[in-house]
């Protein structure tokens, strides 16, 4: 079972937002929702992962503690590394067991959101 020491990445979660540009158009953007500690690890060596690497994309998994904030995460959101500002698209949200203490996310960077 993962412990607090395994959550060593600071990640900011952002939700899509939109507003008026004042001229009848719409401006789309991202609104920061919260920042948490997370555990980031590779997605493995499957054929899909290898194909993604060849296409210049990176696939990974991230584990966050389950909370009222993290239960809001959907695949419409994105995750941003608080240190490097690298943007990751959230591809899957999986509330894993372990007494519902963690949420596992499949993430991808190098592609449009």
Query: DSSP for 29-81?
Result: EEEEEEEEEEEEEE--S-HHHHHHHHTT-EEEEEEEE--TTGGG--TT-EEEE
pLDDT over 80 at 16, yes or no: yes
Helix count and strand count (H, E) for the chain:
1, 6
Question: Which pTM does this prediction carry?
Answer: 0.78
Residues 56-105: tens digit of each pLDDT: 568 889 999 999 999 999 999 999 999 999 999 999 998 775 557 899 99
Domain boundaries, the chain: 7-109
pLDDT over 80 at 113, yes or no: no
Query: 């509330």: which residue's tokens?
Result: 95
CA atoms within 13 A on the CB side of 88: 22
The CATH code for residues 7-109 is: 2.40.10.270
């Amino acid at each position: 079972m993962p412990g607090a020491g395994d959550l060593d990445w600071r990640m900011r979660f952002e939700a899509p937002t939109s507003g008026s540009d004042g001229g009848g158009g719409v401006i789309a953007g991202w609104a920061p929702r919260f920042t948490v500690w997370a555990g980031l690890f590779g997605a493995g060596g499957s054929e899909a992962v290898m194909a993604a690497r060849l296409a210049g994309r990176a696939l990974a998994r991230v584990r966050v503690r389950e909370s009222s904030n993290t239960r809001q995460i959907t695949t419409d959101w994105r995750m941003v590394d608080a240190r490097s500002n690298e943007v990751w698209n959230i591809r899957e949200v999986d509330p894993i067991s372990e007494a519902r203490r963690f949420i596992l996310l499949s993430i991808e960077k190098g592609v449009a959101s």
